[in-house]
Amino acid sequence: MRLRFACFDREHQGSFRLLAALALCRTIRTDGDEELCRLAVELQGQVEDDFLAPAVAARLMTQPPAESYAWAEKQLLRSGLLGTKVRQEAVCPIQYALEAAADPALDIRWFTLLIRVGSGMDEVLLNLLSRGKVPDLPEAVGNYLYHMGLKSSHYIQTQRIIEVLAEQGWTKWDHFVVRWTQKNSQSTSFYGVLYILDQIPVSPQEKAAELRELDRLVQGKTLTIQRGRWPAAEVQKYLNRWEQQSVERGEEQHG
C-alpha cells in the first residue's frame, strides 16, 4: 500500500508518532480517502493515544455524527488528552480532526465538551464556530464565549470573539464594553476602547450610552485607562457622531 501524507507544519515539534499523526489528520481532512480512514482506526487500535486524533477524524468522516461523538468523547476523556489541564500536544491534532467534519456533521455535544475542557481548546472552539451559524448551539457555549471576550486583554482577539458571538446570534451585549474596559483598563488605550465599541453589534444609541458611562467613571476617577489618556474632545466627537446616527435612524434619545 502506498500512501502520500500532507507535509508537516514546520512550526510543530515532537516525536515521529506525533508528527505522523498530524500529517495523517491533515491528509484525512484534505482527501477523506477511505483507505486512510481505515489505516487511522487500525493505528489507533495498535498504539492508542498517539493516533487517537486521526482515528477521531476518520470516524467523523465515516460514521453518523452521534455515533462518532459518543466514541470520541469516551476515548478523549479516558486518555486524559482533554483533561482538566489540556495536554498541549493534543490541541493541533484534535483541531485537525474536528475540522475534518463537513458542516453540519459535527454533533452539537462537541461544543459543550470543548467548553468543559477549558481554555486550552479555546482556539479550536473559535475556529469551529467561525465556519458559520450552528443551529441550536447551547446557551452555555455563548456564555462561555462572552466571558472569554471579557477576559481577553487583546482587542483583536476580543473582536474575533465578538464576531463569532454575533454570527451565532448572541444578543446580550448590555454593558459589555464597560465591563471589558474595567477588566482590561491597564492594558488598553482610549482608542482600543473605541475599537471595541465599534465592533459590538448594537445601535449607535447604545454605543453612546456605553461611552458616556465610561466617561463618567474616568471623570469620577474610579477608572483609569492605560497611561491615563482620555481625551475629552475625542469622547465628545464620538458621542456626537453616534447621537447623530441615532437621529438619522429615528431612535428615541435619552439624556
Q: How far apart are CA 28 and CA 53, in angstroms?
A: 11
**Burial of 170: CB neighbours in 10 Å, binned 0-12, 13-18, 19+:** buried
pLDDT in tens, 123-132: 889 999 998 8
Comparing 241 with 104, the larger pLDDT belongs to: 241
Which band of pLDDT confidence, cut at 50, 70 and 90, is reported for residue 48?
low
Across the range 40-52, mean pLDDT stands at 81
Mean pLDDT value across residues 222-230: 87
Residue 232 buriedness (CB in 10 A; 0-12 / 13-18 / 19+): exposed
pLDDT above 70 coverage of the chain, percent: 86
Please check the confidence at residue 138 and state whether its pLDDT lies above 50. yes
DSSP the chain: ----PPPPPTT--S-HHHHHHHHHHHHHHHH--HHHHHHHHHHHHHHGGGGHHHHHHHHHHHS-HHHHHHHHHHHHHHHTTTSSS--HHHHHHHHHHHHTSPTT-S-THHHHHHHHH-GGGHHHHHHHHTTS--TT--HHHHHHHHHHHHH--SHHHHHHHHHHHHHTT----TTHHHHHHHHHTTT--HHHHHHHHHHS-S-HHHHHHHHHHHHHHHHTTS---GGG---HHHHHHHHHHHHHHHHHTTPPP--
Q: What is the pLDDT of residue 29?
A: 79
What confidence category does residue 80 fall into, taking pLDDT thresholds of 50, 70 and 90?
Answer: confident
- pLDDT score of 2: 40
> How many beta carbons lie within 10 A of that of residue 167, not counting itself?
15
User: For residues 51 and 44, is the Cβ–Cβ distance under 8 A?
Assistant: yes
Cα–Cα distance for residue pair 201/209, rounded to 1 Å? 14
pLDDT on residue 248: 87
Q: What is the average pLDDT value for the chain, to the nearest integer?
A: 85
Distance in angstroms (rounded) separating the CA atoms of residues 97 and 92: 9
Q: List the domain boundaries for the chain.
A: 1-101, 173-255
Q: Could you tell me the pLDDT band of residue 1, with boundaries at 50, 70 and 90?
A: very low
C-alpha to C-alpha distance for 19 and 60, rounded to whole angstroms: 21
Nearest alpha-carbon partner for 101 in 140, 143, 69: 69
The residue type at 233: A
Residue 38 has pLDDT above 50, yes or no: yes
Query: Of 91-100, 106-115, 208-217, which gets the smallest average pLDDT?
Result: 91-100
Tell me phi and psi for residue 94, to 5 degrees: -70, -35
pLDDT single digits (tens) 174-184: 999 999 999 99
Q: Confidence class of residue 8 from pLDDT cuts 50, 70 and 90?
A: very low
Q: Are 174 and 202 in contact (CB under 8 A)?
A: no
Q: Max alpha carbon distance in the chain (Å)? A: 75
Residue type for position 71: W
